[in-house]
Amino acid sequence: MSDVLELRGVGKTFAGIPALRDIHLAVGASELVALIGPSGSGKSTLLRCCNRLTEPDAGDVVFEGEPVPAGGAELASVRRRMGMVFQAFNLYPHLNALENAALAPRRAAGLSQGEAETAAREALERVGLGDRTSAMPDELSGGQQQRVAIARALALRPRILLLDEPTSALDPELVGSVLRVIRSLKEDGVAMLIATHEIAFAREAADRIAFLADGEILECGPPAEVLDRPRTERLQSFLSRL
Amino acid sequence: MRIFFDPEVLAAAWPGIRSGIGVTLGLALTSIAAGVALGLLLATVRALIRGAPLRPVGGLIAAYADVFRAMPPLVLLVVLYFAAPFAGIELSGFMAAFVALGLVLGASAEEIFWAGITSVNRGQWEAALSTGLSRGEAFRRVVLPQAVRLTIPPLTNRAIATGKNTALASVVAVPEVLNQAASIQAQTASPAPLLLAAGVYVALFLPLVRIGRWLETRFHIR
Amino acid sequence: MSEFFQTFLNPGVMAESSGLLLRGLWVTLQACLIVVPGGLFFGAGLALAQTLAPAWGARSLSWGVDLIRAFPPLVLLVLIVHGLPFLGIEPPPLLGVGIALTINTSTYYGEILRAGILSIEPTQWEAARSTGLGTMATLRHVILPQGVRNVLPDLAGNTLEAVKLTSLASVVALPDLLRMARVAQGVHFNPSPLILAALLYLALLWPLVRLIRRLGGRAVLPA
Ligand SMILES: Nc1ncnc2c1ncn2[C@@H]1O[C@H](COP(=O)(O)OP(=O)(O)O)[C@@H](O)[C@H]1O
Ligand SMILES: [Mg+2]
């Protein structure tokens, strides 16, 4: 039982329309699982159900062997150990890079200001931005902003990172810098669940790939299996259109 | 023309008007502070309440903002000063004006803060919650600082309007600038005290009106 | 509770003072019928003048507008109603009130309409000009119709402020709704007429507030 995160029969319906159906998926320690699938297939909803930004209406999300609590300080404490990276970065525009990354260590984890800044600085160094700690978000490129967002999650030393299409909002020439950071995190053994359209990246970096269509996981397995020997028609046509 | 600027009348009127300036400023600053604090408090409550049992509270706050937007401040002041005593609530003129101006500004300020809060992208809440911040901390450290930037120009303008509305307190015998000028005018049968008071208001508020205009263009609020 | 009603919502007192209050309401409405159209008319003039004037002219107009706005409306009202007679001009009270409040409110209407004019893309001017329309014709037929639509919520918001402003007339002895309520209160030594007047203002203005919300209006008009 070394799974960091496990979804057991998770479902979610929006206004009568199912967005997720009976999702079973586990992410082990140091494992990188990639979620692929057409847009609208439920990738974001799945990630957001993990930390209950979206409230699942069926099934269980189990984190480090315990169900994710419904609310309050217990949920906040789980969220701290589950970092999330958003497609649109969602950096705090009124805070500089260091303050963005130090806010939660200080105000959620209760570290002292000095400890929080140290954790933030280390996280920024890890994403290659040790020299931009005092830059405001609007002074950074999209790729740099997304790396600050990753550092914001890393500063809390999470057990797993949930990344929702972290490179989809980036100009093509900036995608590489963010993927490089994600690869180096994998080498350091950070567990990750990542929704992505970068199939080449998924093939090379993921331990497993899950293919999502209409809210269901149709295929799940090692990249070679899923990408090279797709069993379902949906996946075949999805891959052929890339 | 001389009657408008009769130096003797002006000299006689000045001490009263000067003491009126103190009252005007005191009333303005206290009601502005109270109104802004009230508006911020209500908008915060409205932003943080969640869940079914508390839902109606948000509606009540919105209704408060609507009612006091529809109510002329002078009508409110007159009701507070002349009707409240029948309920055993004896307010001094100053207190009645303070409460009326504070309630009216509180309603505008609530609306301004609420508009600022709701204009902050949902993603900001979500990012903050995803790092384990409580709703209160997310509001205080992430949402409110961004909302406040948007509220500064309109809030400044409402505060200036509240400052000008202190003149209404003359109706309930608060010895502020206009009240002083009117009573001296009644004694001297000369328009000079009124003109002096008008000059005082221009000196007090023209700079503020210019600042308000500058803030509006600077922050590009539309 | 019934004592509360007897004091603040006394049916007998309200019935007996309803005649007075209705007369007052009519005066309030007359004041509105002067101040709102008057404010719009002179506000439009102000907006056009600021649009068409050379830069220095527009700048002095903006100082003039701010000078007027520096006066609390009540001070402007008292100045005009109690000051003009010293110049030998004695307008009827309703007119005096109308002049003072129109001066005040037209500066706000003017600023809103100017924002409306400025909200229209310069390409609209160019398009109209290219078809041979003159400046005034372009303003009247192309710019203003679109510009007014863009600032409709703010125009409604300022109309609300203008109506509320007319309650000041009571201070200079115009027998408007608020004044008549005070008179009735004195006669009956009972606050019910005041409460009724406040409720009448709410009944008059609450729908306007809702309308502004529907139009998506901002709370916050310039002061
Ligand atoms: N907050 C929401 N309200 C209503 N429908 C939603 C909401 N979020 C997502 N959906 C719907 O759920 C489905 C899955 O969306 P999403 O998880 O965003 O897909 P993906 O991330 O794969 O593009 C879509 O049909 C989307 O329209
Ligand atoms: Mg998505």
> What confidence tens digit (pLDDT) does each residue in B83-104 have?
998 888 899 999 999 999 999 9
Picking from C186, C187, C190, C181, the residue whose alpha carbon sits closest to that of residue C18 is: C181
* Cα A127 from Cα A151, distance rounded (Å): 7
Q: Given CB atoms, is B66 within the 8 Å cutoff of chain C? A: yes
Give per-residue pLDDT as tens, B3-20.
Answer: 777 888 888 889 999 999
Across the interface, do A104 and B146 touch by the CB < 8 Å criterion? no
Torsion sign over Cα B23, B26, B29, B32: negative
Domain shared by A18 and A53, yes or no: yes
First to last CA, chain B: 44
Percent of chain B with pLDDT over 70: 97
- Residue A201, domain extent: 3-81+160-240
Q: Given CB atoms, is B18 within the 8 Å cutoff of chain A? A: no
Tell me how far the alpha carbon of residue A165 lies from the centroid of ligand 1, in angstroms.
14
- Give SS3 for B196: helix
Across the interface, do A76 and B127 touch by the CB < 8 Å criterion? no
pLDDT of residue A161: 95
pLDDT of residue B221: 45
Residue written as token pair 């990738």: A43
Domain shared by A73 and A166, yes or no: yes
Band the pLDDT of B166: cuts 50, 70, 90.
Answer: very high
For ligand 1, atom 14, which residue shows the shortest CA distance?
Answer: A42
pLDDT of residue B186: 83
Across the interface, do A92 and B129 touch by the CB < 8 Å criterion? no
Give per-residue pLDDT as tens, A52-71.
Answer: 999 999 999 999 999 999 98
Across the interface, do C178 and B78 touch by the CB < 8 Å criterion? yes
Residue written as token pair 């609390």: C72
Domain shared by A172 and A142, yes or no: no
Look up residue B24 and give its two tokens.
């005007």
Backbone torsions φ then ψ of A32, nearest 5 degrees? -115, 115
pLDDT of residue B222: 40
Residues C136/C139/C142/C144 CA torsion (nearest 10 deg): -150
Distance, in angstroms, between B18 CA and closest chain C CA?
Answer: 16
Contacts of C191 in chain B (CB under 8 A): 79, 82-83, 86
Backbone torsions φ then ψ of A187, nearest 5 degrees? -60, -30
Residues C7, C13, C19: CA angle, nearest 5 degrees: 145
Domain shared by A7 and A77, yes or no: yes
Band the pLDDT of B163: cuts 50, 70, 90.
Answer: very high
Domain shared by A43 and A72, yes or no: yes
C in contact with B (at least 3 C-beta pairs within 8 A)? yes
| Partner-chain residue, chosen from C66, C178, C208, that has the shortest CB–CB distance to B74 | C178
C110 pLDDT exceeds 50?
yes
pLDDT of residue C139: 87
Mean pLDDT over B177-189 rounds to 89
Percent of chain A with pLDDT over 70: 100
Domain shared by A69 and A98, yes or no: no
- Give SS3 for C40: helix
- C-alpha to C-alpha distances, A118 to A111, A125, A137, C143, nearest whole angstrom: 10, 11, 20, 58
Across the interface, do B131 and A83 touch by the CB < 8 Å criterion? yes
Mutation target to probe the B interface, by most B beta carbons within 10 A, among A77, A80, A94 is A94
Domain shared by A8 and A44, yes or no: yes
- C-alpha to C-alpha distances, B13 to B18, B183, C93, nearest whole angstrom: 9, 10, 27
Domain shared by A166 and A126, yes or no: no
Look up residue B169 and give its two tokens.
């307190």
Across the interface, do C164 and B72 touch by the CB < 8 Å criterion? yes
For ligand 1, atom 8, which residue shows the shortest CA distance?
Answer: A45
DSSP string, C134-164: -HHHHIIIIIHHHHHHHTHHHHHHHHHHHHH
Contacts of C78 in chain B (CB under 8 A): 178, 182, 194
Q: Given CB atoms, is B20 within the 8 Å cutoff of chain C? A: no
C223 pLDDT exceeds 80?
no
Mean pLDDT over A124-128 rounds to 94
HEC string of B127-182?
A: HHHHCCCCHHHHHHHHHHHHHHHHHHHHHHHHHHHHHHHHHHHHHHCCCCHHHHHH
Domains of chain C listed by start with CATH number: 2-214 (1.10.3720.10)
* Cα A193 from Cα A36, distance rounded (Å): 11
pLDDT of residue A115: 96
Higher local confidence (pLDDT), B180 or C86: B180
- Find, in chain B, the residue whose alpha carbon is nearest to that of C223: B157
Domain boundaries, chain B: 2-219
Which alpha helices (H) appear in chain C, and where do they start and end? 2-8, 11-52, 55-70, 73-83, 93-118, 122-130, 135-138, 144-150, 152-165, 177-188, 192-214
* Cα C71 from Cα C79, distance rounded (Å): 10
Band the pLDDT of C218: cuts 50, 70, 90.
Answer: low
Q: Is the CB of A44 under 6 A from ligand 1?
A: yes
* Cα B187 from Cα B177, distance rounded (Å): 16
Higher local confidence (pLDDT), A205 or B54: A205
* Cα A186 from Cα A126, distance rounded (Å): 12
Across the interface, do B206 and C70 touch by the CB < 8 Å criterion? yes
Domain shared by A234 and A147, yes or no: no
Look up residue C159 and give its two tokens.
């109309």
Check residue B214 and give left, alpha or beta (phi > 0: left; psi -120 to 50: alpha): alpha
Identify the CATH number of the domain in which residue A48 sits. 3.40.50.300
* Cα C193 from Cα C19, distance rounded (Å): 11
Picking from C221, C122, C202, C117, the residue whose alpha carbon sits closest to that of residue C164 is: C202
Higher local confidence (pLDDT), B222 or A240: A240
Mean pLDDT over A126-143 rounds to 94
Across the interface, do C67 and B202 touch by the CB < 8 Å criterion? yes
The model carries a pTM of 0.90
Band the pLDDT of C194: cuts 50, 70, 90.
Answer: very high
Give per-residue pLDDT as tens, B58-78.
Answer: 899 999 999 999 999 999 999
Q: Is the CB of A40 under 6 A from ligand 1?
A: yes
Between positions 143 and 202 of B, the ones with CB within 8 A of A are 145-146, 149
Across the interface, do C72 and B164 touch by the CB < 8 Å criterion? yes
Domain shared by A179 and A214, yes or no: yes
How many separate domains does chain A show? 2
- Pick from A129, A157, A185: which residue ends a domain? A157
pLDDT of residue B4: 75
Q: Is the CB of A14 under 6 A from ligand 1?
A: yes
Tell me how far the alpha carbon of residue A213 lies from the centroid of ligand 1, in angstroms.
12
How many residues are present in chain B? 222
Report the nearest atom of ligand 1 relative to the CA of A48: 17
Domain shared by A178 and A151, yes or no: no
| Partner-chain residue, chosen from C75, C165, C171, that has the shortest CB–CB distance to B171 | C171
C5 pLDDT exceeds 90?
no
A in contact with C (at least 3 C-beta pairs within 8 A)? no
Report the nearest atom of ligand 1 relative to the CA of A164: 21
Mean pLDDT over C79-90 rounds to 88
Chains that touch B (3 or more CB pairs under 8 A): A, C
**Ligand minimally distant from the alpha carbon of residue A40:** 1
In a domain, A8, yes or no: yes
Q: Given CB atoms, is B206 within the 8 Å cutoff of chain C? A: yes
Mean pLDDT over B27-32 rounds to 98
Mean pLDDT over A136-153 rounds to 95
| Angle between helix B192-219 and helix B144-165 axes, rounded to 10 deg | 160
Domain shared by A103 and A218, yes or no: no
Give per-residue pLDDT as tens, B118-159.
Answer: 999 999 999 999 999 999 999 999 999 999 988 998 999 999
Picking from A59, A43, A85, the residue whose alpha carbon sits closest to that of residue A6 is: A59
Numbers of helices and strands, H then E, in chain A = 9, 10
pLDDT of residue A110: 92
- Find, in chain B, the residue whose alpha carbon is nearest to that of A78: B132
C205 pLDDT exceeds 90?
yes
pLDDT of residue B1: 61
Mean pLDDT over all residues of chain B? 91
Give per-residue pLDDT as tens, C146-193.
Answer: 999 999 999 999 999 999 999 999 998 889 999 999 999 888 888 989
Band the pLDDT of B2: cuts 50, 70, 90.
Answer: low
Instruction: Give the domain B2-219 fold.
Output: MetI-like fold (1.10.3720)
Number of Cβ within a 10 Å radius of residue A240: 8
